[in-house]
Chains A and B, each alone.
Chain A
Amino acid sequence: MKPLKSLLFLFIISILIFQGCTTKEPLTPPQKSKQETIHKETLSHTEKVEKSPVESTEFDNEFEEEEASIVDPLSGYNTFMTSFNDVFITYALNPVSEAYGYIIPQPIRIGISNAFHNIQFPIRFVNNLLQGKFQNVSDETERFIVNSTVGLAGLMDPAKEYMHIPKHNEDFGQTLGYYGVDSGFHIVLPFFGPSNVRDFLGISVDAYASPLVNIRGLENYKIPNNFAQSTAIVAGYFINKKSLELGQYESLKKDALELYPFLRDIYEQKRTADIEE
C-alpha cells in the first residue's frame, strides 16, 4: 500500500500546486482549442474578442493567440531530454527496430501489436467507466472478448475487421483531463517522450491496472514477475511498434523549426483533442 499512498500524496500536492498555473494557453472558451471553436455552432461570442478592424483577419478567432507564453519551468531539462531521446531513437531504437522488422514478417508484428493492445484492456475499461462513457465500455468489452477468443489471444482483430467495433483509447491522463485537471507543465520523459504533469500521473496510475507492469503486492494479477521483466516487455512493445512506424518520426522532425517546442506543441494539441473525444 505504501507506493499507492505516496502516489496519492504526490497527486494531491500536484493538483493543489498547479491549480494556479493556468497562464499557459488560457483555457477560456474562445481560445480553448481550435477543434472546439470550429465545432461549436455559436461562434459569435468569439468574434467579440478584441480585434482592431485593421489587424484582424477572418481566421484569427479560430486559432490560438500566438503571443500567449507558456509556463515551462523545465524547458532546459526538456530540451536536453528531447535531444537525448532523439539520439536514442536514431542510434539505438531505429537500428534495432529495423533489424527486428527485417527478420520478423509484418503480419506477425501486427499480430504482436494487436495482442499488446488487447491485453491493456483493463486500462481502457476503467478509464472509459470513470468518464461515464458506457457505450465505450460495452464496445471495449466486446472487443476484448471477441479478440481474445476468436482473435486468438488478441493476435487478430476480428472485432475491427468483421464487426467494425471501434476502439476507445482512454487512459487516466485523459480521465483527469476530462474532469478539468489542467495539464500542468511539460515534462519530457526519458525514452517515453513528451508528457506533462497530469499525463505522467496518468501513466503511473494506469500502471496499476496494466497486466504488463509489475507492481509489488499485485503480483497475482500481473504477467511479469519483477521490474526487469516489466522493462523487457515494455522494450519489446516499443521495438515492435517502431518497426511498424519506421520513418514517421524522421518525417515529423522535418516540419520542426525547433524540435523541442514543436514536439511539445503537437503533443499538447493531440492530448487536448484526445480528451475532447
Chain B
Amino acid sequence: MLKALLIILSLSITSHAIVESKIQQVMDKKVHQVLNILKNKALSQKQKEKKSISVMNSVFDYKTMAKISLGKKWKKLSNTEKKQFTKAFEKKIKHSYVDKLRLYNNQRVISKKLKKVKPTRITLENQIVGKTDTYKVVYLFYKDKKANQWYIYDVHLAGVSIIQTYRKQFSSFLKTKSFQALLKSL
C-alpha cells in the first residue's frame, strides 16, 4: 500500500504542467534548457529540435490551442475531425516553433514579469535580446480547474498573438474552402 502511494506521489511530482506558485520557476528552467540545447554543438539540428520540443511539450496545451484557433467551427466538427485537426495543428505549431528557434540560437533572456490578470489567467513576459533589438515574448497561461494545473494557451511574439493569427487565417480560409482542404494545407 505504501509502495503504491509512493509511486503515485513520485509520478505526480514528475508529471507535466505547472502549479501556480511554480510557473516562473518552471518556465525559467525550461527556457534555459532550450537555450542550452540550442547552444550544444555536439547535437545535430534535428536532435536539438526534438529535445527542445520535448522540453516544452508538457506546458503547451495543443488541444485548447487548436480549439480556440477554429473558434465557432470547432463545435461543428465530428470527433474524428477534431482529432485530425488537433494532430495537424500540433504538428504545425511544433514545426513553426522549432523553425524559429533555429534563427535565434544566441538568445539571451533578460527580464521576466509575471502577472496574474484574472484568477484563472497568468501572463509571463520574457525579454529576448537579439542582435540589434530586444523582443518581448509573452506566454499566456490558463488554469485547468479540474487538474489545478496551468497550461499555455497562447504566445505573444512582439505583440502578435499566435493563436489570434491562426484564428483569423482559418476563419478566412474556411469561408471559401472546405475543412478537408484546411487539413491538407496544415
Measured CB to CB, the residues of A under 8 A from B are: 34-35, 38-41, 43, 54-55, 57-60, 63-64, 66-67, 106, 110, 113-114, 117, 167, 241, 244, 247-248, 251, 254-258, 261-262, 265-266, 269-270, 272-274, 277
Contact = CB atoms under 8 A, between A and B. Distances in A.
B172 A258 contact: yes
Interface in B86-142: 95-96, 99-100, 102-103, 115, 117-118, 120-121, 123, 131-132, 134, 140, 142
B152 interface: no
A256 B154 CA distance: 17
B12 to A, nearest CB: 25
Interface in B136-175: 140, 142, 153-154, 156, 158-161, 163-165, 167-173
Given A66-B168, A67-B171, A59 B68 contact: yes
Contacts of B171: 66-67
B118 A43 contact: yes
Given A35-B156, A38-B140, A248-B103, 8 more contacts: A34-B156, A54-B75, A63-B163, A66-B168, A167-B134, A241-B132, A266-B160, A270-B159
B67 interface: yes
Contacts of B67: 57
A245 to B, nearest CB: 8
B41 interface: no
Interface string B50-82: 000000000000001001100110110000000
Nearest to A157: B132
Contacts of A38: 117, 121, 123, 140
B158 A251 contact: no
B103 A251 contact: yes
A257 B159 CA distance: 20
9 contacts: A39-B117, A63-B68, A64-B168, A110-B131, A113-B132, A241-B132, A258-B169, A265-B165, A272-B159
B15 interface: no
A45 B103 CA distance: 41
B96 A255 contact: yes
Given A110-B131, A117-B132, A269-B165, A55 B72 contact: yes
Given A41-B117, A66-B72, A258-B169, A59 B123 contact: no
A273 B158 contact: yes
Of B68, B95, B134, B142, most A-chain CB atoms within 10 Å: B68
Contacts of B169: 256-258, 261-262, 265
B21 interface: no
Given A66-B168, A114-B132, A254 B95 contact: yes
B165 A35 contact: no
B178 interface: no
A34 B171 CA distance: 17
A64 B64 CA distance: 16
B173 A257 contact: yes
B185 interface: yes
Contacts of B173: 257-258
Given A35-B159, A54-B75, A257-B173, A266 B165 contact: yes
B164 A34 contact: yes
Contact of A257 (B103, B140, B185): B185
A233 B51 CA distance: 43
Residue of B74, B103, B163, B168 with most chain A CB atoms under a 10 A cut-off: B168
Nearest to A116: B132
A78 B35 CA distance: 38
Could you say which of A64, A254, A269, A273 has the most chain B C-beta atoms within 10 Å of its C-beta? A269
Contacts of A258: 169, 172-173
B132 A274 contact: no
The 5 closest A-B pairs by CB, nearest first: A273-B159, A66-B171, A269-B160, A113-B132, A66-B71
B153 A59 contact: yes
Nearest to B110: A164
Contacts of A262: 165, 169
A201 B140 CA distance: 34
